[in-house]
Amino acid sequence: MVRVYGARSKISEDRLRRSIHLGDQRSFEQDPKYALRLLVDIAIKALSPAINDPTTAVQAIDQIEDLLRRLAKCDLENCWAVDQDGILRVTY
């Protein structure tokens, strides 16, 4: 669902559909939790008795820390788009 605010002219449904990008798989940009989940899985598997690779686990944990530090600086509630004048146009 897309809601458009304050458009001076009608925006076609086709144009709105073209502004939404879909893909076969999740990306890190679309879903930061996905990157964290992958790193957690790597760390858990590295610490399993079958693999027993603490170096890989520590590297994965270091990357998790780096991602969390970066995410702490981000505005995670960014679900809107403004035009060149800063006027709210689309909430998604």
Distance CA 32, CA 25 (A): 13
Residue in this structure with the two tokens 């530090």, named with its chain if needed: 69
CA torsion 49-50-53-57 (nearest 10°) is -70
Assess whether pLDDT exceeds 70 at residue 62. Answer: yes
Q: What is the mean pLDDT of residues 6-31?
A: 79
Work out the end-to-end distance of the chain between its first and last CA atoms, rounded to an integer number of angstroms. 7
Which range is least confidently modeled, 17-26, 47-56, 81-90?
A: 17-26
pLDDT of residue 81: 79
pLDDT of residue 48: 95
Distance CA 3, CA 85 (A): 19
